[in-house]
Amino acid sequence: MQNIGQSGSIRIKRKTYADWEKAQQDVFHYIEMFCNPKRRHGFSNGLSPVEPERQYFEWLKSV
């Protein structure tokens, strides 16, 4: 994911950053926006990603 070129710049997913701090901020923002465990998903009938997992483990306890 991380490429450091000869000039010392950092490249992540077709974007080049001058410093490591800005690259970290963008990666953190990406993870928070697109991998958010609270965001509801249409695939799981509007449940957050962690809710079906929680329901599954509750079901295992009752079996």
Mean pLDDT by 10 residues, the chain (63 residues): 52 75 85 70 77 90 89
pLDDT computed for residue 1 by the predictor: 47
- Please identify which residue in the block is written with the tokens 């465990």: 37
Q: Is residue 45 part of a domain?
A: yes
Q: Is 41 part of a structural domain of the chain?
A: yes
Where residue 10 falls (left for φ over 0; alpha for ψ -120 to 50; beta otherwise) is: beta
Q: Which domain holds residue 50?
A: 19-62
Identify whether the C-beta of residue 2 lies closer than 8 Å to the C-beta of residue 12: yes
Element (H, E) at 17: strand 15-17
Does the residue 49 lie in any domain? yes
Q: In the prediction, which pLDDT does 48 show?
A: 80
Is-above-0.75 flag for pTM?
no
Number of domains present in the structure of the chain: 1
In a domain, 14, yes or no: no
Q: Is residue 10 part of a domain?
A: no
Is 1 part of any domain? Answer: no
In a domain, 11, yes or no: no
Whether 58 is in a domain gets the answer yes
